[in-house]
Amino acid sequence: MSLAIRLGFLAALTAAAPAYRLEVLPVPAGCSSYFLLGHGLAHTGAVIGNLQCADSSDYRAIVWDTAGSRTLGTLGGRNSYALGISSDGETIVGLADTGETTESGQFVTRPIQWTDEAIVELQTLGGPFGAATDLDRRGIVVGACQSAAIDPRVGREAVRACRWIDGVPSEIGRLGGPDAEALDVNRHGWIVGWATTATPSSSGDGYAHVAFVHDGSTMMSLGTLGGEWSEAYGVNEAGEVVGYSETSVNSEGWRELHAFAWRRGEMRDLGSIAGAYSIAWDINDRGDIVGTSRVPVPGQRSTTVATLWRGGTVRDLNQLVGDREGWELREATAIDNGGRILVQAFRAGEYRLAILEPHGR
């Protein structure tokens, strides 16, 4: 066998070798587990998600760690949701119902954090809604909290991008419109999310909103890939930001949604596996990005597949796992610096969160 043939044979074996092994996280019988945002994977290996069981419509925050799994409490209402976890896995943030409603019928939902199995309610800016989405290594929490004043542009209390320092909330800024949400923060205090602008959307669906990065003192728009809307979901320690953006109108008159990476002042289109839809949920410090792409399915409309962007290429994570045991990997929601990936899996009507563990780790 010639050297060229041998090298080609070895390259084919390497390309075909599975890159990850799948670990489906356990839940009680008759239950499914879901994610709401990224940020669900701690550096210690702890994982958060949200549990729903067949005998109830309620959702409960759940955590998996070295001690097993446990559900987290509420503030007296029926639902709680875990949205972010500290890098050491010791603190989880999210939101929970109180069981109360306002005079207008809105449920009262508070931003919360769980520490040592205790639940701590965080304050809003006076309104009935709040959500804590992430926290940095100093314990500073970011998220969204509703103000007490009615904004005439939307006819309700506006939602602000908020930061909690020592439990005290403050608004971090606006981009001209009524609403904003903070969704992720790095250890340098850089915060990302989205904020509405002063321009009404051409679709008539409220105000256009754009992704932002906040460097600790100033909020800056990241712009879009040609459309009116963009949102930022993840930021790594180097200040690289990922999310999604509308692109320009395609030939059929629809705006496409594409994952983006923002680096050093430039927003770059990451594309998708196939079709016109992708979202980037998270980025690690090596620049590896995970998210989802929508792909066509013969005889059906379409489906989503968990997606990895690495080294300038985009891959379907379903093709990188050895034995999936029938599970379809629909979303990739978080990635740590060791390459572990949190995914949403689906099989026969059942949804479960799962970990992709790199081979050789």
Per-residue pLDDT tens over the stretch 232-282: 999 999 999 999 999 976 555 567 899 999 998 999 999 999 877 999 999
Task: Look at residue 35 in the predicted model and tell me its pLDDT.
Answer: 92
Give CA–CA dist 100/84, Å, rounded.
24
Q: Rounded to the nearest 10 degrees, how much is the dihedral formed by the CA atoms of 114, 143, 95, 145? A: 130
Give CA–CA dist 223/332, Å, rounded.
24
Task: Look at residue 55 in the predicted model and tell me its pLDDT.
Answer: 85
Task: Look at residue 4 in the predicted model and tell me its pLDDT.
Answer: 44
Beta carbons within 8 Å of 221's beta carbon, 6+ residues apart = 175, 195, 197, 210, 211, 212
Give CA–CA dist 221/97, Å, rounded.
32
Give the residue carrying structure tokens 């309104």. Answer: 127
- Asked if 53 and 28 count as a contact pair (C-beta separation under 8 A), the reply is yes
Mean pLDDT of the chain: 90
Give CA–CA dist 245/67, Å, rounded.
39
Task: Look at residue 321 in the predicted model and tell me its pLDDT.
Answer: 95
In the predicted model, residues of the chain with pLDDT beneath 70 are 1-17, 249-254, 360-361
Give CA–CA dist 256/250, Å, rounded.
7
Task: Look at residue 14 in the predicted model and tell me its pLDDT.
Answer: 40
List the one residue out of 162, 157, 169, 178 whose CA is nearest residue 103: 157
Give CA–CA dist 117/300, Å, rounded.
44
Angle subtended at Cα 226 by Cα 225 and Cα 227, rounded to the nearest 5 degrees: 105
pTM of structure: 0.91
Largest Cα span, the chain: 81
